[in-house]
Chains A and B, each alone.
Chain A
Amino acid sequence: MNPTSPTSPAPSRPWLAHYGDRIPRDLPPPSHPHLPALLREAASRHAAQPAFTTCMPNGMHGSLSYAQVDALSDAFAAYLRGVIGLAPGARVALQTPNTLAFPVVAFGVLKAGCVLVNTNPLYTPTEMAHQFRDSGAEALVIVDMFAHKLEGLLAQTAIRKVIVAQVPQFFPAVPRAVIRGVMRWWNRVLPPIGVDHVRLEQALDEGAAALQRDGTLLTKGLEGVGHDSLAVLQYTGGTTGTSKGAMLSHGNLLHNVDQAFAMGSSHIEPGKEVVLTALPLYHIFAFTFNLLCFYVAGSRNVLVPSPRPIQNLQRAFDNYRITWVSGVNTLFNALMNEEWFTAFPPRHLKAAVAGGAALQGAVATRWQQITGTRIAEGYGLTETSPVVCFNPIGGTLKPDSIGIPAPGTDVRLVDDDGHPVPPGTPGELAVRGPQVMQGYWQQPEETARTLREGWLHTGDVAVMDADGYFRIVDRKKDMILVSGFNVYPNEVEDAIATMDEVLEVAVIGVPDDKTGEAVRAYIVPQRDGLTEEAVRAHCKRLLADYKLPRSVVLRKELPKTPIGKILRKDLKAELGLSPAASASPQARAGARP
């Protein structure tokens, strides 16, 4: 997709030797013209099988079969096009946690030829307004729990239709009534909605009727849609902090589905898998990996609306034969602190996949001891749909490594001037491949800064070993400069995380009179009695002196993103430091300690 530019010759791909027999060296262009074609084919192949099950913390559940998802998403597409009259390419925002409404609406938007704008349900009204305005969304599907946040906000946006979904959407009548009763009268999380809206059921009824009247409604909407057409606007804070929409095309996502499959095909049996989706689907990792890939594979997808507290996952593990689970470091860690999980680990589990944040070595080792399966760590970004690198599950898994690039992907490490660094040297990771976004929505300057000569510059510092496996050293902006030496917080966090007494840890740099910056560790202890001295003594055995934490702060919890990534920038903000304040020019990628 990205033509090789004369200034950046195709780098060698030393990692191809590790593809083994099952991973194709290169992938042919996806055979489907757009995502709806892929989704329809999966639905017709697995029609009667369960596609999605939402599992509530008390075990109440509702399911949709492939045929039902197909029919309902058709109806929703028809509603968007035929009832409210959206044009192809119009943006439709979706703001729900993991519920049965999510796949129905998301697939419906794509089938209508419209653009899906995934939106975090926990956003504040200010953040919502920014995202709706920026994307120019014309319709919004929002979960009823958060619809009250729309008051006074819609007038600032182009939204002309609000459709309200429920957490127990498509559940059988009795559990649905019970859940809604508990939410309304007991938890009091269903405040009255003060804006004009329609219920999702009603929209689906109207859409189904419109489809009856005009059977060509859906084919017409997709006439001009191809690989280069925009499919999803996926917002990301990115490295600069202002939220911007990564433009992911049908081609980007189709390619990345194929690429992700290449990663796990040895452990995915079509029609047989049960995948646990605890990560939010509005996040690109779960969106592509859990939602798209496992739908195409005919799997049953168990959706958990909220994985916090982690006990919410207990009934999902109890009641379903989970074979795949995707997660982030904090989720795996939290699971392994639950007795119900460690005493009876899932027996049918085949593999776990980690992304979103660095997987700590200690967590990966314990996971293997407990479940007998390995966590394959991958690496990706919103801007790359997301998969860039992966540890091939059927091949060599390297600990502390993000693995090797996906088929058809070029990865290289560059210095500040954009020149490739010598092998074994840390450099900023740059990606080129069919999964790389088209750019940031209406942000030509940001796009030009990030996408240069066909390469996406990630802001992550990595090193490559002789086999072509990559290891993320850290975020460029998180590096700590102690007396002129680079300290990567990940390395210090990893060392501290190997202590049994430590539940979670985050490391940041703080200004220091003597050394410029000093290492500070924030620790959530596993049990009482952890002391600063013990932490330092432990680190002294593993780390050079300049990497030792100067101060240790014990806390009850650490700030995290919705998917559970620990937010170092929030810890810095608590101290009044700007997120990137510590990254002095010398501390940039490429400099060696």
Chain B
Amino acid sequence: MSESSPTNILVVGVGGQGVMTAAEILAEAALAEGFDVKKTEVAGMAQRGGMVTSHIRFGERVLSPSIAPGTADIMVGFEVAEALRWCHYLRPEGVAMVNTLQLAPPVVSVGLFDYPEDPVGAMVKAGIKLHTVDAGEIARGLGDLRLVNTVMLGAIADHLPFPADHLRERILERFRERKPALVPVNEQAFEAGRKAA
């Protein structure tokens, strides 16, 4: 991989978890660093409980918007089985940051399919460089489950090719514009995610 290759970040999860928002924030942060950025989603009918994957690529110049299997530098998994599903997108030295939350869809819940017994173990066995974080627990501790998104962004903040503070600033800026009251708790969530990772 040459020096000018773009950084590839794959964000995966389930419709409604905030995958696209997280990707949007990462893309904005990369843009603020002066990179060329492309972001693309495969959401389909995501709002209806389907899987969501978002690709963010940034660098000097980005051509194709999609990340090829085996080339992602970072994968952010908002749900552990989804992380398992997409982990082959990581390059050999790529890093997976995975929320340990398990969300079983109806077809699993009624027994048509099985939820993987040990998704984390399976990924470790496949040689994935894996960090897990119980983002739900951290968010609950801070009093709002919606903070999962910020926790996860905090968790990968130190794995990015730009300073973690810049990402935090981008997130807080968003809240300053939209919901100023939520700025302090999101700052806590971000730092908690960073520490947990």
B partners with A: no
Give A contacts to B, CB under 8 Å: none
